[in-house]
Structure 1
């Protein structure tokens, strides 16, 4: 099989490149090289002029879409501690489960949506739908209401918004693509730093209903404004085929999917339950919610600086090391010790080394598979990670309810650490397999 060499660059650049490949360029209207493109009057030059407008629009979308997604940790704490205090934890967990799953699996719906409505219209539709979902959340009185309004409606709108933002920026930048995507992606962490205090203060000050409505207004104005500036730089044609299940015959894909499935479980538990564990430690609920900003701040540093580590170590080596460190930190600092200092240390390490699976594996896929198969393998990865969330989060909630009695977090922390160990072993096995079976990976970064 012909394999495309890994394109060195930042973690975020590689993440965006994989999404860019989902869209098949129309070779009859798009030149084959950068110089030809620049000589065509109807195609704007990349990295200049309107490209920076696109970047600003994408950055705003990431601030709101991903920032709002991170801010839902505040709502999760509120659900467990206040509004659904008498409801079993495994039932409440369906809200976060469906939100995360839809945000992941919803990426598969971007291509057909863009084929039907185009980029700008699809982004505008997502902006309106997401805002409507948040407004409906303000009227919710049952868990299943929030599963539909927050989980499905808002989750899908966020998926469309940030995926289109990534694609638009990759179409408008070439030489400075890494910087542009890295800056845009950091908006997710910056958004959490902005929105978490807003959500926390509004929940405590005027109630959760108006907190949802204010977030809906922010989402509509911000993402809607960003969507208005979206336009393509040159003609292209979306690829109809999204999934290719024949990929299961490749050990590379199978091992990577095992790692992704278990890593998503491990990664999700601190994301959803760490603020509540601080409350159990004796910290005020407001403090616990605001502590999400620590993770967000550290993750910003990680996203901006990740490129240098990729150049030196390679994407697979990065994942192996980060998963090993995350496993050790989970057991040593969150599971074994119950004091605020160890919890801070864990959360900082988790923020820097707890790399989410789908932000770096597209770089590996681009280096292993030919260009024509990249969209299918990435879509399959997203699907499996989404299924992992859909299946595991209710089970984790049940464990927290039945064995932790909504007070002890030891059981679910152990699940998180164990899943990190399994993902580490799967990635290590993949590394040995590639070194032994594939001449391309005999030496150098992998």
Structure 2
């Protein structure tokens, strides 16, 4: 007999129940404290990184670093993301050897050091090494060490809890986008960096004291790579969703402030647009998680990615030149960043809870190259004038569409797996009861030549929740 429990298929072949999933865990409890701590970690890693849009606009229009070009500054932002993803295998190994808390403290050290170093930067290489590489290392250690913890504490509310944690990056981006612009105007750039260093050190230090994982309880395998994942097509669809999505996301979040200046708005209006983008993520990510628990993780991730693509094509292009229209587009930021609240729950659906750390380690590594050159590609496509971002907007929309197609094909695979397990459960149940009648379909997988493609296409347009 098969059971659909908490959105996960469980198959029983007689008594006792044989569960084709990870063991059930106690729901919530101290997990809500962990959610709050991880939210603060995200606010002071990805949230602080979101404020680079303000730094970028300042660099491009102030001449702060003599001789630096727009592409140089684009590399700084790209490296802050790509280096954070590049260190993920090392972080995964550190978590397995030293524990989550010590690994988080390593990230705290590098992040604090990066802001202090950037406050003394006088050349572009100083900025690349401090605000780019060093901050990326710190952010990577903080984020990767904690990204898989929240799902360990929840079952029925897994997506909602994970979305609450990732919403921290939105609130952090909201606060620090406005605060960074105000501090640069009143205190200057060096002291802005130093104040951010102090805040990040204090908050992340407190979080490292209260974060607690359940790696032993769930049997998490902290391997830098798990070779079996490379042979699974569904895993490559999963990474394809992130590969295309991270390019579009990076271009949008780092370009908004400069776009606002290029179409004629002030620096404060540009910072407000970035703040609204972050606010949308802060408020929208818990909503995405809540809806995901009822409508399906992959369903919601795919549909949000599709709407994000349409928003680039229609809303940003046609309404972005008006301040109200640009604010509305920014308020759809929760859809542009849908990967962050859903990547861990979707990853569990693809590889299971035990292999999630290894899967995410590979996932982040795959995103290194696109995130490094995303903003570089965006600035290369930019042209002078109020219509100068048209090619950038079209490019971002196409990338989100490719991301949608990847995850929607992953959804079709997941549905086929569920249907195959249902057939297997029916067959085993019939054998247990000594039923003489043989089921019409005895194979757990349809013949490749006749049924594979039609079944895949049918499931592509299915309305089932998964």
Q: TM-score range by the shorter chain?
A: 0.7 to 0.9
Q: How far has the Cα of 1:47 moved from its partner?
A: 1.2
- Given that 1:84 and 1:92 are in contact with CA atoms closer than 8 Å, whether structure 2 keeps it comes out as no
Structure 1 distance, partners of 2:396, 2:6, is: 32
Q: How far has the Cα of 1:132 moved from its partner?
A: 1.0
- Secondary structure at the residue paired with 2:367? helix
Q: How far has the Cα of 1:417 moved from its partner?
A: 1.1
Q: CA RMSD in A?
A: 3.3
Structure 1 distance, partners of 2:105, 2:48, is: 17
Aligned counterparts, 1:366-381, within 5 A: 366-381=348-363
> Is the aligned partner of 1:61 residue 2:41?
yes
> Is the aligned partner of 1:73 residue 2:93?
no
> Is the aligned partner of 1:136 residue 2:117?
yes
Structure 2 distance, partners of 1:383, 1:286, is: 35
| Number of aligned residues | 408
1:414 maps to 394
**TM-score (norm. length: structure 2):** 0.77
- Given that 2:163 and 2:288 are in contact with CA atoms closer than 8 Å, whether structure 1 keeps it comes out as no
Residue 279 to residue 363, structure 1, CA distance change in 2 (3 Å): same
Residue 420 to residue 208, structure 1, CA distance change in 2 (3 Å): same
> Is the aligned partner of 1:339 residue 2:322?
yes
2:331 maps to 348
- Secondary structure at the residue paired with 2:68? coil
- Given that 1:4 and 1:368 are in contact with CA atoms closer than 8 Å, whether structure 2 keeps it comes out as no
Aligned counterparts, 1:303-342, within 5 A: 303-337=285-319, 338-342=321-325
Judge which range, 305-314 or 264-273, deviates more. Answer: 305-314
Q: How far has the Cα of 1:380 moved from its partner?
A: 2.0
Structure 2 distance, partners of 1:292, 1:78, is: 14
2:134 maps to 153
- Given that 2:225 and 2:359 are in contact with CA atoms closer than 8 Å, whether structure 1 keeps it comes out as yes
1:224 maps to 205
> Is the aligned partner of 1:267 residue 2:287?
no
5+ residue gaps, structure 1, are 10-31, 36-44
> Is the aligned partner of 1:117 residue 2:137?
no
- Given that 1:63 and 1:188 are in contact with CA atoms closer than 8 Å, whether structure 2 keeps it comes out as yes
Q: How far has the Cα of 1:245 moved from its partner?
A: 4.8
**TM-score (norm. length: structure 1):** 0.80
Structure 1 distance, partners of 2:159, 2:297, is: 15
> Is the aligned partner of 1:98 residue 2:84?
no
Residue 144 to residue 263, structure 1, CA distance change in 2 (3 Å): same
Residue 134 to residue 406, structure 1, CA distance change in 2 (3 Å): farther
Residue 164 to residue 241, structure 1, CA distance change in 2 (3 Å): closer
Q: How far has the Cα of 1:356 moved from its partner?
A: 3.7
- Cα deviation 1:338-389 (Å, max 9, x = unaligned): 322322222222x132234353233233223355543333222211122211
Judge which range, 322-331 or 104-113, deviates more. Answer: 104-113
- Given that 1:275 and 1:292 are in contact with CA atoms closer than 8 Å, whether structure 2 keeps it comes out as yes
Aligned counterparts, 1:2-41, within 5 A: 7-8=6-7
Q: Determine which of 367, 374, 378 is the counterpart of 1:396.
A: 378
Q: Which has the larger radius of gyration?
A: 2
Structure 2 distance, partners of 1:75, 1:380, is: 30
Residue 364 to residue 149, structure 1, CA distance change in 2 (3 Å): same
